[in-house]
A and B are shown apart, each in its own frame.
Chain A
Amino acid sequence: MLVSYEWLKQYVDIEDLSAEEVAEKLTRSGVEVDFIHDMNKGVTGVVVGHILTCEQHPDADKLSLCTVDIGEEETVQIVCGANNVAEGQYVPVAKVGAVLPGNFKIKKSKLRGETSHGMICSLKELGFEAKVTPKEFADGIYVFPSVIEPGSDAIEYMRLYDKVMELDLTPNRADCLSMLGVAYEMAAILGRDVNLIDESVVRGEEQASDYVSVNVKDDATDACPYYGATMIQNVKIAPSPTWLQTYLMASGVRPVNNVVDVTNFVLIEYGQPLHAFDFNRFGSNEVLVRKAGEGETIVTLDGETRTLSTDHLVITNGQQPVALAGVMGGADSEVQDDTTSILLEAAYFDAPTVRRASRDLGIRSDSSVRFEKGVDPKRVPAAADRAARLIAELAGGTVLQGPVAYDELNVEPKPLDISLQAINRSLGTDLDEDTVEAIFKNLQFAFKGDENGWTVYIPTRRQDIMIEADIIEEVARLYGYDQIPTTLPDVSSTTGGLSVAQSVKRAAKQYLETVGVAEAVTYSLTSPAVDDTFDTVAKGENEARAQVAMPMSEDRSTLRTTVLPHLLEAVRYNRNRQLHNVALYEMSSVFTGESASPSKQPTETRSLAGVFTGLWHENSWQREKKPVDFFVVKGIFEGMIQEMGLTERVTYTAGRHKGMHPGRTATVYLDGENIGYIGQVHPQVEKEWGLKQVYAFECNLSLLIDAASNSEPVRYIPIPRYPAIQRDVALVVDENTTALELKEAIYARSSNLLKDVSLFDVYEGENLAEGKKSLAFSLVYRDPEKTLTDDEVKQEHEQIIAGLETDLGATLRTE
C-alpha cells in the first residue's frame, strides 16, 4: 500500500508532522513504513505553458516549433519532438535554467538551426514511472486536462512536493489498505479526529430499480451477502482532472478516464473495491450473482479467456458472466470513451471465495487483494455514494434514486468484554482506568464500563480484533511497547541445560574438530539420482525416498536418505577452486518414508557422515606428506567411538556398500547391528564426480548417541602393581586371514594373563610363499597378583602359538 502524505492530510490533521515523522509513528505502532518515496526526483523550474502556435520545423520532419506563453512578458520559442504536441495545449515546460531528474539542466539550445528556450516535458521526464502514466501520454508530452494560468508552478500543480509512504502491512492490518484506515490509525496515535468525507449525493427523479434488478442466487448468498447497483446516466467520459490523476499516480495506479479513476480513487480511499459497467453494453436489465458453471468461460478486462469452476463466483446479466466477482471485470461491459450510462457495483464478496478465484486463475488485482483480506462491511454502500458523487461531479451524470441492493450484511459492531486486571496481568503494567479509556477513545472504539470492566464495541473496520488478547494488544501498542516495564518471569524453578544425548552430540563434534575435521552443513533436499549414490544408514521398515509434491527443481525434489552425496559435492566445489585437502563432517537428518508420497511422517534418522581427501598431514619444509588413507579415517572414527565410550561395543568387518570401494570398505557394527560404513569411495563414483582418492564414512548417529547415553560411566581401575612382560611374535598366515581374525584367535587361545594384543607390522612379498602374509603382534602378559616369571610367560606364549597353528595354520615367521 502506497500512502500519499498529502492525500492523508485530507482526513487527519498532520500539518505539524513531516512525512518522516508520520512514518516513524506508524512504524512504532505496528504499521510498518518500509520506504518513503519522494515524488520530486530532482525537478526545479518547471511551469505551466500555453502553446499558442505549433508549426513544423523547417529542417526536421519530426520536430515542431512552438510559441509558448510561460507567464512571462514575452512568449518563448520551444522546439518539441513529441508526436502529440498541438496548439492550444497547456503543458509542463522546463524553462531555461530548470533541472530535471538525473541532474539534467535545461539550457538554451539550437536544434537544426532553431533556438529552443526550454523543453516541454513528458511525465517520464518529470520522474513518473512508466507503469503509472496514462497510456495516451506514454510516448509524448503530458497535457493538462484543464485551463491553467500560464507560468503557474507545475511542481506545485502536479503535487511533486508530495511524499509517499510504502507500507509493509502484516496480514491482520487489512484496515490499513485504505487511506481512511491509515487516517484512523494516525488519529488514534495522535489522539485527533478523522475528518468526515462528504458522501451526500444529489439524485435524479428516476428510480434505478426501473432500470435494473439485483438478485443473488441461493447458493451464493454466503459468498455475496451484499450487492448494490447504483445507476448513473448521461455521463461524459473524459480524462480526470490533474489532482485526481496525480493522487492515483502517487498511489501507483495508472489514470484511465474520469469514471474508472473515481472507482480506483474510492478503492484507495475506502478500501472498498468498486466496478463500473457500461450499462448499454451490460446485455440485460438484470444483475444475477451466482456460482459459475463448471467450465464456464469469461473474457476478462485484460483480454484473457478464463475457464471457471463451481468454486468461483460470477456477476451475470442473467445469462452470461460479466465479471469475476471481486477479482476482475469482463471485457464486454467495460467502460469506453462512448459510454454514457453506468452501473456502479459496490458489493461484499467473502474472503475465501475471492482468494480461491485469485489463486486458481492466477490473478491478483487491487480488488482481489482487498476482498481476500476482508473489507469493512459498513463502508460498502458508503463507498458507492462517495463514488457516485464524484462521478456526477467529474463526468457530469445524473445519479438515479437507489441503489438497488441485495442486503443481508451484518454491520453491527462486535461487543467484546475486557477488564483492567486482564490487561495489567497480561502486560505486567499498572495502567489505570482513565489511561485505558483514553486509548479506546483515541481508537474510536465505543465502550461502556461497569465494576467488572468494559464492553468494547469493535467497529467493523477492525475485523482483526476478535478476542480479549486483541484488545490487549491495541492497548499495549498505543500505550507504547517501550513503556511496558522489564521484569523477569517468576517461574517455578526449572533446571534446564542439555540432555545427555545433546551433550554426547556436542562432545562428538568437539572431538572431530579437535582431530582436524571441519563441520559442514548441506541441504536436505536433493535429486533421486544423487541420493542413489550411497546406502542409507537409516534403520527400520521405511526405505523409500519421500518426494516434494511440486518441486522447484529436480535438484530439490527429494528428501535425502544419505548425507554423503552433498558432502561429496562440497569436496568437488572445493577441488574446483584448487582446494585439494578437505576433511568435512556433517550431522544431519536423513529421511526414509514408506513411499514417495507417504501417508505418515517419514522416519528421521540422525546421520553422521565424513569425507576426506588430499593430504591429511603436510609439513613441507620437513618434507613430510601424509595423504589421507583408509586408516586415517578409521582412526578418527575409532577415536570418536572411544569418546562415546563405545569402543568395546563397536566392531568392523570387510563389507560391500553401494558407492564404496568393494575391497576397501568396512561395515561398522554396534552391538552386532550394522550401523554404517567406512571406506574409500568407489573409483567409478570418484570418476563420475571428477574426484580422486576420497575416503568417507556414514553412520547412524541416532543409534550411537542412544548407546552412548546409556554407556557405562567411567570407573577408575587400579594401576597394576606388578610389571608386565612383552613378547613379540611374527606369524605367517594365508593372505585372506584378517588381522581381526588373528587377534581374536590369540585371545581365544590365551589365559587371563594376556592383557593386550597390538599389531605392529604387516608384511607381504619377498621371502614369503605365494599367497601368504606376515602379521606381527606384541603380546603383553601380566599377573595382577605377582610378578610373572620368564617360564610362566614362555609357557603361555608357546601355548598360544601352537593353538594358532591348529586354528589358522599360522606359522612362526623365520628370516
Chain B
Amino acid sequence: MLDRLGELKNEALAKVNDASTVKDLKDVRVSYLGKKGPITEVLRGMGQLSEEERPKVGQKANEVREEITTKLEEKEQHLEAVALEEKLQAESIDVTLPGRPVPRGNRHPLSSVIETVEDVFSGMGFSVAEGPEVETDYYNFEALNLPKEHPARDMQDTFFLTKELLLRTQTSPVQVRTMQNNEAKEPIKIVCPGKVYRRDEDDATHSHQFMQIEGLVVDRNIRMSDLKGVLETFVKSYFGPDRNIRLRPSFFPFTEPSAEVDISCAMCGGDGCRTCKHTGWIEVLGAGIVHPNVLEMGGYDPNEFSGFAFGMGVERLAMLKYGIDDIRHFYTNDVRFLNQFDRA
C-alpha cells in the first residue's frame, strides 16, 4: 500500500504540474483528495493492515496528502498571479497622455519683488508701512525738505489734483507719517512699498505709474556705515551672495550725505558688458543719511536721533531679475506675460 501511495503521489504531482487553469487544479484536487479519491480509498483499506503497518501507512498517506495539497496551493497561487497579470495588462492606459489640468494663477512679478524685499527686511526686524497714494504737498515735498520753489522739485513732474493735493511722486511721505505717528519717538525700522505717479509719457523705460519700495531706520546712533551694512546684506540676499555694492555720492533733498548705490553686474561679473554699459556696475538704489530737517519734521530731535533711508524702483528690480526690457509689460496684463512668473 505504501507503494500505491507513492504512485498516487507521483501521478497527482504530475497532473498538478501539467494544470494550466484553476479548473484543472480543482479537478486534480477532487480526483485525488476527494472523498471518493484513491487516497481516501487507500485509507479505507487500512483495516486489513497489521497493527504495525497501520500507523506507517496512515502517516505516509497524510504526507502524500499534504504534499499534494501544498503543491496544489502553490500552483494555484501561481496561476492566479498569471491570470491577474493578464487581466491588468488588458487594462493598461497610455501614461504619457497629459494629466487633467488644474487651473492655476500666479503672483504679478511686481508683487513678487515687493514681497521678496519685504521678507528680506522682515528678517532684519523691519515692519511694512503703507500710506495714501493721494498726498498733500506738505507730506510729499515740504516735510521732505523740498519747500515750494525748491529747484529740486523740477526733478519730479507731479500730477496735482489741487494746489495742495497730488498723486505722491515717491513713497517717502510714508516715512514722515510713520515718524509723526510714533508718539513715543521710539526707534523706527520700516520698509514702505507702493504705487507712485509722475507726469511721464509711457514708453519702454517710463511709466506714469510705477512702484517704489523705501526703507527708513531711525535710532540714537545710526551711521553711514550701518547703511552700507544693511544694503550689502539686502543685495547679497536678494541678488545673490557674490554680488557687491558700490556707493557714489549723489543728491536727494531728504538725505545728506546721499548716495547712489550700484551693484556689481551679474552678466559680466564686473568686467563690463552691454547690460552695465561697460562699467561693471548697475544702479539700483538711492540712499543716504536722513536730513536733519526731515527728522525734525517727523518730530525726532536731530541732536539725539539719526537715521538712514533708501529707496528703489520695483520695476527696475523686476526688470533686472527677470530680464524684462519694456516697463509697459507690467501694466498691459497680457496673460502670456503673466503666466511666465509661475514659480518662486
Contact = CB atoms under 8 A, between A and B. Distances in A.
Q: Which of A521, A556, A559, A583 has the most CB of B within 10 A?
A: A521
B45 interface: no
B48 interface: no
Given A171-B154, A522-B331, A525-B209, A482 B226 contact: no
Given A27-B248, A428-B223, A509-B111, A473 B133 contact: no
B229 interface: yes
A518 B106 contact: yes
A53 B128 CA distance: 81
A425 B229 contact: no
A601 B110 CA distance: 26
Contacts of B222: 489, 491
B224 A428 contact: yes
B133 A496 contact: no
A489 B257 contact: no
Contacts of A597: 161-162
B160 A550 contact: yes
Nearest to B226: A489
A598 B106 CA distance: 37
A814 interface: no
A484 interface: yes
B125 A425 contact: no
B160 A487 contact: no
Interface string B159-195: 1111011010000000000000000001101000001
A499 B127 contact: yes
A17 interface: no
Given A493-B125, A498-B122, A525-B209, A589 B133 contact: yes
B268 interface: no
A604 B161 CA distance: 15
B105 A519 contact: yes
Contacts of B134: 546, 559, 591, 601-602, 604
Contacts of B132: 601, 604
Contacts of A604: 132-134
Main secondary structure of the interface of B (DSSP, over half): mixed
Given A518-B339, A519-B107, A556-B208, A427 B189 contact: no
A496 B124 contact: yes
Given A489-B229, A496-B125, A524 B195 contact: yes
B133 to A, nearest CB: 6
Nearest to A473: B257
B47 interface: no
A322 B137 CA distance: 38
Nearest to B126: A496
Contacts of B229: 486-489
Contact of B225 (A485, A495, A513): A485
Contacts of B251: 30, 170-173
Interface string A236-255: 00000000000000000000
B121 interface: yes
B30 interface: no
A576 to B, nearest CB: 10
Contacts of A579: 334-336
A509 B103 contact: no
Given A573-B332, A599-B162, A519 B208 contact: no
Interface in A609-627: 616-619, 621-622, 624
Given A29-B249, A518-B108, 6 more contacts: A170-B250, A489-B223, A519-B108, A519-B338, A598-B161, A601-B132
18 contacts: A29-B249, A172-B152, A469-B257, A481-B246, A484-B247, A489-B219, A494-B125, A494-B189, A495-B127, A496-B121, A502-B128, A513-B104, A514-B104, A515-B104, A549-B160, A549-B162, A552-B201, A600-B165
Interface of B: 97-98, 100-108, 110-111, 115, 118, 121-128, 132-136, 149, 151-152, 154-155, 159-162, 164-165, 167, 186-187, 189, 195, 197, 199, 201, 208-209, 217, 219, 221-226, 228-230, 232-233, 246-251, 256-259, 289, 291-292, 306, 330-336, 338-339
Interface of A: 27-30, 32, 170-173, 351-352, 355, 372-373, 425-429, 467-470, 472-473, 476-477, 481-482, 484-499, 502, 506, 509, 512-525, 546-550, 552, 556, 559, 567, 570, 573-574, 577, 579, 582-585, 588-589, 591, 597-602, 604, 616-619, 621-622, 624
The 9 A-B pairs at the shortest CB distance, nearest first, are namely A516-B103, A428-B225, A30-B249, A428-B223, A170-B251, A473-B257, A518-B105, A477-B249, A570-B333
